[in-house]
Amino acid sequence: MTTYLLTGARPLGGDPTDVLVADGVVAALGAEASRGSGVHVVDADGLVLLPGLVDLHTHLREPGREDAETVESGTRAAALGGFTAVHAMANTSPAQDTAGVVEQVWRLGRDAGWCDVHPVGAVTVGLAGEQLAELSAMARSAAAVRMFSDDGRCVHDPVVMRRALEYVKAFDGVVAQHAQEPRLTEGAQMHEGVVSAELGLTGWPAVAEEAIVARDVLLAEHVGSRLHVLHLSTAGSVEIVRWAKARGIDVTAEVTPHHLMLTDDLVRGYDPRFKVNPPLRTADDVEAVRQGLADGTIDTVGTDHAPHPREDKDCEWGAAAFGMTGLETALSVVQAVMVDTGRLTWSDVARVMSSAPARIGRVPGHGRPIAVGEPANLTLVDPAARRVVVPEEQATASVNSPFAGRELPGRVVATFLRGRATVLDGTLVEAGASVERASGRHGAHA
């Protein structure tokens, strides 16, 4: 395995130092990190070194919708986005509701080798919301599932939700809820408010999310279990989670990059790229989720990377699928709205995009401190770079990025998975490829 010396890197945005990556771990830091023979030197001067990013919320679409994404294409996108571990959501076809399916997805991820793939198990059989899936079998499978979710659908029956929360305590699992009261959102097409009234699109009211978040934190308190709220999108939800945490309830929450940056104003052009669930909300909601992420009410940024084949978005708004891609732009969006505005430090970014999700998902070896002896799951970022998002140039198999054409800051220069470079000079490194010719961040793939 190639040994790498990152010269002048800034761990968590701190002081520049040299970092030696050898034998899958961080082997030395600072003066100890000498350049021996056969060491591949990466000029990391001024670059920020983060623990490899962990996503709790990725849709890899395999099995079932390989036309939108495969484990292979999705994890390539993840590596380019700086991720070393992703959680693959359960709404595949067949759904990830048995030990067999989660093991299949886990193996596909392991064989692809771009990042660790942790399948999310379905809470209920077929995501139907009625009967608990065999949660324990999934937990004990090779995939060692710890996170369970019917994402895409809300576990809306309070009894089923209660049982799920209770049951996963046996193996330290967490139920990740897609909070959407189904009756309040029948036929919903976008956020309910001024813009939906003007456009004549059925509204998805904020209260439909908040009502479920409120109910679930109380259920989690009652049964003493762990709850994770997926893609929280409204100011009211932030308030409820803040209240729940103050009360000592074991709840964590997530926000997506798109809910940190975009508002429902964008729907005015009826461009299906902006159709997503939960919908883009108002500027007040965006401000509230930014504040929530800054003050720790919201624990993580989850991409909700939701690829769709072109034909599912190349149509009128009403017929278009919900969802946006996000793995390759997530870090840039967080930098733009949180770091470059002074609301988060790079150390905070390491927390919300790596250590917190790794802790919530019970992922070993990820989200660790950058310290000698720790697994070398690392992401090297150039915060001074800027780029215009071109979906067709991304590794994801789908092109439904809401950021297409936007200029965003930051670029993932390198990603290391247990010491192996999956990305160097911003380019994927095929497994087994020689990097000996590479001589720095501008030379690796010249």
Catalytic center residues: 304
User: Residue 201 touches which of Zn ion, another protein, none (CB < 5 to 8 A by kind)?
Assistant: another protein
Q: Are 213 and 190 in contact (CB under 8 A)?
A: no
Annotation-wise, does 191 bind a ligand?
no
Annotation-wise, does 442 bind a ligand?
no
Among 11, 193, 302, 307, interactor with another protein by CB under 8 A: 193
Strand locations in 97-180 (E): 116-119, 147-148, 174-177
**What tokens does 124 get?**
């209920």
Residues 163-222 that bind Zn ion (CB under 5 A): 178
Residues 259-278 that bind another protein (CB under 8 A): 269-270
Element (H, E) at 213: helix 206-223
Annotation-wise, does 178 bind a ligand?
yes
Q: Are 212 and 181 in contact (CB under 8 A)?
A: yes
Beta carbon nearer to Zn ion, 231 or 411 = 231
Annotation-wise, does 274 bind a ligand?
no
Annotation-wise, does 322 bind a ligand?
yes
Among 192, 254, 299, 348, interactor with another protein by CB under 8 A: 192
Annotation-wise, does 151 bind a ligand?
yes
Beta carbon nearer to Zn ion, 146 or 178 = 178
Kindly report the length of the chain: 446
> How many binding residues for another protein (CB under 8 A)?
25
Kindly tell me the number of DSSP H helices and DSSP E strands found in the chain. Answer: 12, 19
Closest distance between Zn ion and the C-beta of residue 22, in Å? 40
Parallel/antiparallel/unpaired status of strands 251-255 and 300-301:
parallel
Closest distance between another protein and the C-beta of residue 404, in Å? 15
Q: Is 405 in the site for another protein (CB under 8 A)?
A: no
Beta carbon nearer to another protein, 85 or 195 = 195
Among 104, 124, 141, 189, interactor with another protein by CB under 8 A: 189
Which one of the spans 78-86, 197-205, 283-291, 382-390 is the region binding another protein (CB under 8 A)? Answer: 197-205
The H-assigned helical ranges of 295-410 are 330-334, 346-350, 356-360
Which one of the spans 104-112, 244-252, 254-262, 314-322 is the region binding another protein (CB under 8 A)? Answer: 314-322
Closest distance between Zn ion and the C-beta of residue 259, in Å? 11
Handedness of CA 358, 73, 155, 238 (dihedral sign): positive
Strand locations in 186-226 (E): 190-191, 203-204
The rounded distance, in Å, linking the Cα atoms of 43 and 441 is 6
Which burial class, exposed, middle or buried, applies to 239 when counting CB atoms under 10 A from its CB (0-12, 13-18, 19+)? Answer: middle
Handedness of CA 299, 60, 390, 350 (dihedral sign): positive
Q: Is 151 in the site for Zn ion (CB under 5 A)?
A: yes
Q: Is 233 in the site for another protein (CB under 8 A)?
A: no
Residue 34: count other Cβ atoms within 10 Å of its Cβ. Answer: 10
Among 195, 358, 399, 412, interactor with another protein by CB under 8 A: 195
Annotation-wise, does 308 bind a ligand?
yes
Which one of the spans 48-56, 140-148, 149-157, 192-200 is the region binding another protein (CB under 8 A)? Answer: 192-200
Annotation-wise, does 304 bind a ligand?
yes
Among 179, 298, 320, 331, interactor with another protein by CB under 8 A: 320
The rounded distance, in Å, linking the Cα atoms of 40 and 69 is 33
**What tokens does 270 get?**
């009826």
Beta carbon nearer to Zn ion, 276 or 380 = 276
The rounded distance, in Å, linking the Cα atoms of 96 and 82 is 25
The rounded distance, in Å, linking the Cα atoms of 236 and 428 is 41
Give the bridge partners for 415, in sequence order.
379, 423
Name the residue among 401, 397, 404, 403 with its Cα closest to residue 61. 397
Residues 198-227 that bind another protein (CB under 8 A): 198-203, 205
Element (H, E) at 423: strand 420-424
Q: Is 318 in the site for another protein (CB under 8 A)?
A: yes
Among 142, 315, 384, 431, interactor with another protein by CB under 8 A: 315
User: Residue 202 touches which of Zn ion, another protein, none (CB < 5 to 8 A by kind)?
Assistant: another protein
Residues 6+ apart with CB under 8 A from 109: 60, 71, 75, 88, 115, 116, 117
**What tokens does 109 get?**
């991820």
Q: Is 172 in the site for another protein (CB under 8 A)?
A: no
What angle is formed at CA 31 by the lines to CA 355 and CA 19, rounded to 5 degrees?
Answer: 35
Which one of the spans 11-19, 312-320, 323-331, 372-380 is the region binding another protein (CB under 8 A)? Answer: 312-320
Instruction: Fill in the DSSP letter of residue 92.
Output: S
User: Residue 203 touches which of another protein, Zn ion, none (CB < 5 to 8 A by kind)?
Assistant: another protein
Annotation-wise, does 295 bind a ligand?
no
Q: Which residues are annotated as a binding site for Zn(2+)?
A: 57, 59, 151, 178, 231, 304
Q: Which residues are annotated as a binding site for substrate?
A: 59-61, 91, 277, 308, 322-323
Return residues touching Zn ion (CB under 5 A): 151, 178
Return residues touching another protein (CB under 8 A): 189, 192-203, 205, 269-270, 311-312, 314-320
